[in-house]
Structure 1
């Protein structure tokens, strides 16, 4: 990491690009980025027992060892839709004009596919394609926080081959090398006002890129007793390196144009990571109908908050690291499944995720906070090896205050995301051959 020399510090091209991209160029989402809900039956449990309960091949997403518990060949396909309410409301300390942005998270569709195959009584292989990382934030273009962000999308889709083996009657180990396709896009308004004296229409900066990165999922499943299983899973960090030339439109501030022409900016690189996680789960069969479930998890958001930035041009090359002040988070959940009839199984669960940031670190491009989850769902056996399932999760974030100040002008965006919440609807089919 190094800074610009004194002779180059006058170059506003770097200053403009960094000030925009560092604020709008880290991750954008409207809740925690890691999404437990991928349409699978377990989505009705608020992640309770996710690393210990193996009902279908989707278990490989949370614990690769789980597929060794599945008989024959199984195919699981799912779809989900996330709807949200993220409405900013300004307060008396707000210093920016513009509207309040509308609903920043309208909807986000998704799908997943999992397959497992039992090799013998001790070994199994599988494959999963799923998206459990990233959300969409989309404000009105002329909202009060437009100089911080207008639109941002970060999506990660994982492709995970998996193998699991029972080393003893009680201990199973699984591993899933993970290839993740990442897509990132951001838009932010550029203030064309000359020294605050001349009022001009805003310009706009756009930046988008894709990258492919790798990681690994590891899992252990242990039979504690005839009715109790313990699951422990780890997912490694996955680091994206997005690199492209920012697109600038309608920049008619003569000072900005002069600086941009001097800087001759060729590319800007943003490095950001999906955090490593640890999940401990337990599943206990109380009787022939009831299964009790619980989970405790850790997510390394402090590492995710370190965003690497590099700027390259004909005469300048600079790199730095932005510390967003994030902290590690914990999640806990409890739930149960009830076998109501031989064909119908009911799931329900509650969960809590601590916030990845303190209130003073909250920004418009990442209005995250603590999350309370309430979930339910069902699985129905249609016969001939075919099951259908559906699940619903309500996620409550409540009121989240924000006060974010522009370093150059000293103006402050101030207000509250009032009564923020998310709905996750999902369902799918499982075939057993």
Structure 2
């Protein structure tokens, strides 16, 4: 800005959340234009709270950053059985917003707070062959993040955030000819630690670690297919939507007063999550773990032609969380991901600037094997992001 895993429907819930499986880096700020490049070391506005809280020590005495974002795309599901009704594009347009505030407490201590949504997904399969299993689903999460940063010396700063996360899940299915909607919500805690180092006069590096986040949603329902009268998908299922722990290392080099280069290397611990479990006819059915750790890399450039303009561009790659693209979850058609971003910031006054950004995210094609009745494939799914941000210092 991700981000932000169906032997039956259990996989649905554990996979609704994050890009880079779906972990969104886009939060309506310059990170969108730069495809996230340099996020843990750039520290150019108060949104550093979400990428590396130690970066607050580089900000003015008081600073506010706000952003609005829109996500859309084409994620079309094609059922292998041409005689069945196909859902087509299941992606719904998805808005997002964020706000951050940072202030200097004394010569070395900074405090800040952020409110943002760093992941979410709305999908709509509509009237299709699997509508007894799912028609619509929405997963959204918002995070409140109070943060502190301390400047140890002229070259080294540390920071931390306590993240209070709220998640909401809704699921709409066809039950005996009418739509039935089930909802649940949960609160979860996570933490972020950051380190910012001024390596040379023109080069700085940042390291940020974020703990995993566990949401626990409990949705009780049942699903039965008319052509499989003896098979009942029995839910309750208590399913967790999880964000894995992640580590991000970033470097920014100011080549001169006009040009800066920046890059990232990141890791996310998706393999820590065990296989989802579903209850069918009162018996538990296990699936082998099909997840693996993911890697992120990004490269960005910033060009300042005048004192009023800052132009951004970036490209990023995130590896797939699946061991095989031939067996992915019905509701998480992700794989290897490429991001391409661009945007600009304009200095309105000495104390304020405004920016716009666009980003395109291309996902690897994938195949769905379970449930066998609904086998199919996603061909070349993609997302796009558009955002506007505003910064004010005082």
Cα displacement string for residues 330-371 of structure 1 (whole angstroms, at most 9, x for unaligned residues): 010001111111011001101111111121221222111111
Correspondence for 1:46? 35
After TM superposition, give the deviation of residue 242 of structure 1 in Å: 1.4
Q: Is it true that 1:108 corresponds to 2:94 in the alignment? A: yes
Alpha-carbon distance change, 254 to 355 in structure 1, aligned in 2, over 3 angstroms? closer
Q: Which moved more, 1:341-350 or 1:29-38?
A: 29-38
Q: Is it true that 1:227 corresponds to 2:207 in the alignment? A: no
Cα displacement string for residues 242-282 of structure 1 (whole angstroms, at most 9, x for unaligned residues): 12433x5999999779x89xx9x8x5422232111100000
After TM superposition, give the deviation of residue 63 of structure 1 in Å: 0.6
Q: Is it true that 1:35 corresponds to 2:4 in the alignment? A: no
Q: Which moved more, 1:181-190 or 1:331-340?
A: 181-190
Correspondence for 1:417? 378
Which of 197, 206, 212 is equivalent to 1:237? 212
Larger Rg: 1
What is the root-mean-square deviation in Å for CA atoms of aligned residues?
Answer: 2.9
Correspondence for 1:14? none
1 CA distance for matches of 2:53 and 2:286? Answer: 34
Alpha carbons 1:134, 1:156 under 8 Å: kept = yes
Correspondence for 2:185? 210
Alpha-carbon distance change, 285 to 206 in structure 1, aligned in 2, over 3 angstroms? same
Alpha-carbon distance change, 383 to 330 in structure 1, aligned in 2, over 3 angstroms? same
Alpha-carbon distance change, 255 to 162 in structure 1, aligned in 2, over 3 angstroms? same
Q: Secondary structure at the match of 2:9?
A: helix
Alpha-carbon distance change, 146 to 24 in structure 1, aligned in 2, over 3 angstroms? farther
Cα displacement string for residues 88-118 of structure 1 (whole angstroms, at most 9, x for unaligned residues): 234xxx2474322131113110000000001
After TM superposition, give the deviation of residue 405 of structure 1 in Å: 3.5
Q: Is it true that 1:274 corresponds to 2:243 in the alignment? A: yes
2 CA distance for matches of 1:253 and 1:418? Answer: 28
Q: How many residues align?
A: 386
Which of 387, 402, 421 is equivalent to 2:353? 387
Q: Secondary structure at the match of 1:68?
A: helix
Alpha carbons 1:64, 1:164 under 8 Å: kept = yes
Q: Give the TM-score normalised by the residue count of structure 1.
A: 0.81
Correspondence for 1:4? none
Q: Is it true that 1:57 corresponds to 2:57 in the alignment? A: no
2 CA distance for matches of 1:211 and 1:419? Answer: 33
Alpha carbons 2:17, 2:241 under 8 Å: kept = no
Q: Is it true that 1:99 corresponds to 2:85 in the alignment? A: yes
Superposition map of 1:370-385 within 5 A: 370-385=336-351
1 CA distance for matches of 2:154 and 2:297? Answer: 29
Alpha carbons 1:65, 1:172 under 8 Å: kept = yes
Alpha carbons 1:29, 1:368 under 8 Å: kept = no
Unaligned runs of 5+ in 2: 1-5
After TM superposition, give the deviation of residue 202 of structure 1 in Å: 5.9
Alpha-carbon distance change, 38 to 372 in structure 1, aligned in 2, over 3 angstroms? same
1 CA distance for matches of 2:285 and 2:192? Answer: 30
Superposition map of 1:322-341 within 5 A: 323-341=288-306
2 CA distance for matches of 1:19 and 1:305? Answer: 14
Which of 73, 91, 108 is equivalent to 1:122? 108
Q: Give the TM-score normalised by the residue count of structure 2.
A: 0.89
Alpha-carbon distance change, 305 to 33 in structure 1, aligned in 2, over 3 angstroms? farther
2 CA distance for matches of 1:215 and 1:151? Answer: 28
Q: Is it true that 1:161 corresponds to 2:150 in the alignment? A: no
Correspondence for 1:426? 387
Correspondence for 1:302? 271
Alpha-carbon distance change, 30 to 298 in structure 1, aligned in 2, over 3 angstroms? closer
Alpha-carbon distance change, 33 to 339 in structure 1, aligned in 2, over 3 angstroms? same
Unaligned runs of 5+ in 1: 1-17, 191-200
